[in-house]
Structure 1
Amino acid sequence: MAHIAFISLAESGHLNPTLPIAAELVACGHRVTFPADDAMAARIRATGAQTIPYVPAPAETIVIDSMDAAARATLNMLKQLEHALPQIEAGYAGDHPDLIVNDWLAWDGPMLAAKWHTPRIQSWSSFAASEGYDFGKFIVDMFAGSSSKAEFDTLLTAILERHGIPSMELHDFYKPADFNLVYQPKAFHVHNETFDDRYAFVGPTNLPEPQDYTPPGRPLVYAALGTIISDPDFFHTCVQAFAGQPYHVVLSVGRAIDPAVLGPLPDNIEAHQFVPQTSVLAHADAFVTHAGMNSTMEALAAGVPMLALPYTPEQQTTAERIAELGLGHTLTPTDATADQLRTIVADLLDDTVTRQRHTAMQEEVRRAGGAPAAVDAIEARLP
């Protein structure tokens, strides 16, 4: 059996799609490892995979509200890599994997694969790059006018030289590998006609788990902005919008917000820092979301119409695709007033045509194959 290393960011949207794949690979008898900090370790070990521990550098909190802020956040990712890479290399000393599966933002994956001459699969927790869709060009253009560019270029060159890694540029990290796993059904992906057999569109791997959650009332509206975005004003607006409406509302506000800041809540609204999202979505009738790819795919798997409020360019692309395919509506966060939220959610709850489109997309999700299809693709490419 093979040794397969998964390399991911700690954020749920990047890590979570890989965990069911890791569990299936372990069940097949493979040894699976993940470089992991303390925030990731418990979730990884629950799959049966092993962890290669590292300690991250103290992180600067950056609100991505401009192109320059996005460039600084990208620079900070490279600084984190600089800190973690020596620890990860030491953890794999004398035990290099047979195959690396790395998240598209886990740049230590392509670096180590090049240094160790190890085959690599790129794991796309967002839209994958192709001839028709090149998010990397957007990043390069973003950096062109940024005060962070010179520091980024200097640091990247220093890391590569220090570790004996062949020359790489920023755009290289956003290009496809020789083979790529994409956690979307192909029908949802933008410019899907431009992809070839280098890509396996396996769809979402975290499928709904209705047995883990009992809905407190129906219809059920679920609102969440993921694990990174923190916007207390949005959740205050949700309370204003949905108080006294003829449906139950579950708010997942994130670990950075104390639900108590929302004050006393109406009987039809509850707020938590965290809920089991796939289990709630299995019963939800509408989903107000930031349009993160992981959340969007979980909603598609559950057949839940969405109101998308994108905060980042990547989320904007996802939100536009949701609207284009008739799977929901989109608003900018600044346009998400209480009246707008109330009106659009009411429309979603009554919209049978949107639900029919979701039923068709659920079939696309089923055919994509999820974690078992990903395992087949990985095993087919083991050396």
Structure 2
Amino acid sequence: MRVLFTFIGGVGHFEPMVPLASAVAAAGHTVAVAAGPARREAVEGAGFTALAVGEAGPEPVERLPLAVPDRERDDRELREGFVRRGAAERVPLYLDLFDRWRPDVVVCEELDFGSVLAAEKLGVPWANFQVIASGSFVRPAVIGEPLAELRAAHGLPPDPGLVLRHRHVLFSPFPPSFRDPAFPLPGTAFPIRPPAGPPVPSATPTVYFTLGTVFNTESGDLFARVLAGLAQLPVDVVATVGRHVDPAEFGPQRPGVRIARFLPQADVLPRCDLVVSHGGSGSVTGALAHGLPTVVLPMGADQPQNAEQCVRLGVGRSLDPVAAGPDDVRDAVAAVLADPGYRRAARRVRAEVLDLPEPAQGVPVLERLAERGRPPSGAGARTAADRS
């Protein structure tokens, strides 16, 4: 079986797919990952063949001031950036790639709408892979109109309820309780367990601080404010600032504070007691999969919705990233560490995560999709001999 994974976002949109892709490869199937040229290093670093989609452009490294969170702006960027531009540009590229690489099944990252439409147009079985934890960011009200326009442009039938987006299966690497109750998982959902290593006790409480891999360069002075607040607490601090931020710019730190560009989250989280983050889906899920409470400073995209779910579940607190000063960060972290209710709530979510099927259990799901094959006729159709 030839399985092609695709994603259109940053590395944070790829990492949740890695456990399933690894399980597919371990089962003896051929796996490749299609993404923008700038993501080749991350894909190959994870051990997969990378297939470039589109032209390589300059990677933005400019440090930007922190913008006031604006959900209407985020919806507009989702609608225009990921659908009207991103999907429209990628549909023809995927049509060509699918016809050349000949996947038996395609696993499309949740925001890679162009991959879904290309697979549907060619009759290739596909599965969606959820990368937004709360489920309330990617909404029909936001993406429905531009997707309808794109479907019509490619001769695909209308899909008013966007039901075809999850027609086959939706892999979801998030605890079901974290999803916004107003946006329940579809019946085609197949939950899989995200990485959840066992905790490693430490003598001193340890706080992990991250602003992810995209919003770290759009954070203004937020790194400095949070680090100043954490420095006032009797805790060890591990902070990651990303490849485009120099740890030296924050000056000398007291003993027990470590600032690095990057550290594997799987190595850091088992040794922590609390996570301070921007509320990205990967950061929040990583914390909860390890039973860790959190303090969230949501800046944009899916982060405000994730922060709301953290508060609803009682696993942490949310702060205004623009208004919060060092003392606010100090007080929020101290309060969450001191109240055992937050840790108990986080551990309940961890128990839910541990009950989810392992990624290897998703392999037979893809095998069954591949067995359906392509239709006997139509653009890009293959014969039984082609699939053997």
Could you give the per-residue CA deviations for residues 124-162 of structure 1, whole angstroms, max 9, x where no partner exists? 111476xxx684245259x9xxxxxxxx789x65x974x
Give 1:136-151 correspondences, 5 Å limit.
Answer: 136-140=139-143
- Report the Cα offset of residue 305 of structure 1: 0.8
SS for the counterpart of 1:312 is coil
Is 1:232–1:257's contact at 8 Å kept on the other side of the alignment? no
Note if 1:93 corresponds to 2:93. no
Q: Larger deviation: 112-121 or 189-198?
A: 189-198
Q: Deviations over 1:93-150 (max 9, x none)?
A: 3442111110111112211112111121111111476xxx684245259x9xxxxxxx
Q: Give the match for residue 149 of structure 1.
A: none
Query: Residue 266 of structure 1: SS of its match in structure 2?
Result: coil
| Residues 321-352 of structure 1: CA deviation (Å, up to 9, x unaligned) | 11111111111212322111101111222222
Bigger mean CA offset, 220-229 vs 349-358: 349-358
Change (3 A) 1:296 1:239: closer
In the TM superposition, what whole-angstrom CA distance separates every residue of 1:292-347 from its partner, at most 9, and x where no partner exists? 11111111111111001112252112111111111111112123221111011112
Partner of 2:204: 218
Residue of structure 2 aligned with 1:233, choices 221, 245, 265: 221
Displacement of 1:171 in angstroms is 7.7
Q: Which residue of 187, 196, 210 corresponds with 2:177?
A: 187
What TM-score does the superposition give when structure 1 sets the normalisation length? 0.82
Instruction: State how far apart, in whole Å, the 2-side matches of 1:241 and 1:53 are.
Output: 42
Report the equivalent of 1:26. 25
The 3-state SS of whatever aligns with 1:222 is: strand
CA drift of 1:167 comes to 5.6
Distance 1:238 1:87, change over 3 A: same
Q: Give the conservation status (yes or no) of the 8 Å contact 2:137–2:305.
A: no
Does structure 1 residue 317 correspond to structure 2 residue 322?
A: no
- Is 2:42 aligned against 1:53? no
Aligned mates of 2:269, 2:207 — CA distance in 1: 9
* Structure-2 change in CA distance of 1:363 and 1:379 (3 Å): farther
**1:41 Cα deviation (Å)?**
2.6
Instruction: Report what 2:380 is aligned to.
Output: none
Mapped contact 1:10–1:39 kept (Cα < 8 A)? no
Query: 105, 114, 120: which one pairs with 1:108?
Result: 114
* d(CA) in 2 for partners of 1:137, 1:196: 14
Unaligned residue ranges in structure 2 (runs of 5+): 372-388
Summarize the Cα distance change of 1:75–1:57 in structure 2 as closer, same or farther, 3 Å threshold: farther
CA distance in 1, matches of 2:46, 2:240: 25
Match of 2:130 in 1: 124
Deviates more, 1:24-33 or 1:269-278: 269-278
Out of 58-67 and 246-255, give the one that drifted further. Answer: 58-67
Change (3 A) 1:227 1:209: farther
Is residue 225–residue 289 contact of structure 1 (8 Å, CA) maintained in 2?
yes
Query: Is the Cα–Cα contact under 8 Å of residues 114 and 165 in structure 1 kept in the other structure?
Result: no
State, as a whole percentage, how many aligned pairs show the same letter: 23
Output the CA distance in 2 between the equivalents of 1:75 and 1:356: 41
- One-letter identity of the residue aligned with 2:21: A
2:106–2:124: 8 Å Cα contact kept in structure 1?
Answer: yes
CA contact (8 A) 1:236 1:262 kept: yes
Q: Secondary structure at the match of 2:176?
A: coil
Question: Is the deviation greater in 14-23 or in 354-363?
Answer: 354-363
In structure 1, what is the Cα distance between the partners aligned to 2:244 and 2:165?
Answer: 33
Q: Is the 8 A contact 2:91 2:118 kept in 1?
A: no
Residue of structure 1 in register with 2:334 after alignment: 346
Call closer, same or farther: CA 1:107–1:173 in 2, change over 3 Å.
Answer: farther
Give TM-score scaled by structure 2 length. 0.81
Letter in structure 2 aligned against 1:22: A
CA distance in 2, matches of 1:134, 1:304: 24
Query: C-alpha distance in 2, partners of 1:174/1:232?
Result: 40
Q: Kindly tell me: are residues 160 and 41 of structure 1, through their superposed partners in 2, closer, same or farther at Cα, counting changes over 3 Å?
A: farther
**Cα shift at 1:178:** 3.1
* 1:176 partner amino acid: H
1:173 and 1:57 map into 2 onto residues whose CA distance is 33
User: SS at 2:271's partner residue?
Assistant: coil
- Equivalences, count: 362
Superposed counterparts of 1:148-167, under 5 Å? 157=150, 161=153, 164-166=154-156
SS in 2 for 1:381: helix
1:16 has 2:15 as partner: yes
- Please tell me whether the aligned partners of residues 64 and 73 of structure 1 are also in contact (alpha carbons under 8 angstroms): no
Greater Cα offset, 39-48 or 62-71: 62-71
Q: Find the partner of 1:336 among 314, 317, 324.
A: 324
Question: Which residue number corresponds to residue 176 of structure 1?
Answer: 166
